[in-house]
Each structure stands twice: as structure tokens, then as C-alpha cells.
Amino acid sequence: MGFEIKNIIIVFITFFTLNIYAQKEPGVNEPIIFGELILGGAGKINEYGGFLIGGELSYQFKKNLFSFRYLENFQLKHEVLKLSPVTVFPIYKEQNNNKETSFLYGKRWIYNCSSVSITGGLSLNTYVSNLTDEINKKYTVTEHYVGFPFEVNVKWFKSKKKKYRIYMVIPVGRPTSFGRHFGFKLVGNISKNSFIGLALVYGFGIHKKYE
């Protein structure tokens, strides 16, 4: 698979930066900012399905949510390997790879220890197709085009300030707004090669205004 891990290193850098920030004296002006990893399944509409992986960084001002997202959607094709006249073995190969870099804007509603958000925006997509010609020679075709990404999120996080816990067990420092979150994401992109999927998210950050 052609996953370029360097494209989501920014998420890990963000986690590190937020962690340092969280060790400072807490104040009323803490921004709502969080990063997350995305892992799930998605596919081209009415065609190939496959895996979805990526990262996202989000900032909230009042109820306005601004996000930067990077995704790769590996679309797989199914083939059958005949081991004997009565025995077959399924094989999955990468047929297409849809790489998306996008900026999104929308609304996020915060509750006690959860949130719901809806966003949409503009993306640059790179679509790589693995093809075979009439003489069985393999080749690739790369396309670049604009898309319209969207997502719906449901997330859970801590309800009040607590000490950060290393490995979710060892408490360190003073009570902080910084913490983990997890949730679900309905994600998609309307474009020349539209796709839609469902993913799990896991991340770190400051998720609401804490007292």
C-alpha cells in the first residue's frame, strides 16, 4: 500500500506540542484545540471498498470549528487464488489510492463530556489507479482534482479537569484541561471519485472550556 506516513506526522507533533502546553499554569484563555488519528473503512461509491487512515487537527472558536484533514483511502479489489479444483483462497490487492488534503469548516456543539460536530469544505485529491492493459502489463494513472469533503463526528472526553495519566494509569502534574478523546466519524468526499466511510478516532487536546 502507498501510505505516506510523513503526511500525518503533523498530528504527532501537535500531540507533543499540546502536551507541553498542558503542563503550563491553566488559564481562562486556553484554546479549544485537539488532534486525532483516524482509522476505519471507506470506499468509492458503488465500486471498490477498502481501508481509511489519516489524521486531523481542529480548532474551535465559539461554536465554529476549523479543521485540517489528511486521509488516504485504499480501495481494494478481490481476486481468487485456486489452490486446487475444490479449494480457493481470497486475495485482496490495492486497486486505487485516494489521497485527500482538506480544510473544513462547520459547527460543534459541546455537552458535559461529549460533542457533536458537522463540517464541510474544500480538498485537493490525488487519485492513483493501478491498471492492467490488454497484454497484461501493469501501469498506474495519477489524477489531481478538487473535491468537497465532509464529516460528522461524535466524541467523548473527560468532563472536568484531572491530572494527565501516562498510559491512562500513572497521574502526573496538576489537574489540566489537556486529555484524551475517542469517538466515531462519518467521513466522505464528493468529487470525481467520491467516497464515503466510517472510522474510529482517537486523539489528544483541549476539548472544551473547563472551570
Cell numbers found for residue 160: 472536568
Would 38 be classed as within a structural domain? Answer: yes
The conformation of residue 26, written as its DSSP 8-state character, comes to P
Percent of the chain exceeding pLDDT 70 equals: 72
For residues 57 and 204, is the Cβ–Cβ distance under 8 A?
Answer: no
SS3 21: helix
The answer to whether residue 48 sits within a structural domain is yes
Q: Please indicate, yes or no, if residue 211 is contained in any of the structural domains.
A: no
Name the 3-class secondary structure at 13: helix
3-state helix, strand, coil in the chain (%, to 5): 10, 70, 20
Q: 130-171: per-residue pLDDT in tens?
A: 767 677 787 778 999 999 999 999 999 998 888 776 666 666
Least confident span in 27-41, 73-87, 148-162:
73-87
Residue 84 pLDDT grade (very low, low, confident, very high; cuts 50, 70, 90): low
> Considering the domain boundaries, does residue 166 fall inside one?
yes
The domain that holds 151 is classified in CATH as 2.40.160.20
Asked if the model's pLDDT at residue 71 lies above 70, the reply is yes
Domain of 195 in residue numbering reads as 5-206
The grid cell for 26 is 491553566
- State if pTM tops 0.85: no
Q: State mean pLDDT over 103-113.
A: 96
Query: In this predicted structure, what is the pLDDT of residue 79?
Result: 55
What pLDDT score does 145 carry?
96
Report the number of distinct structural domains present in the chain: 1
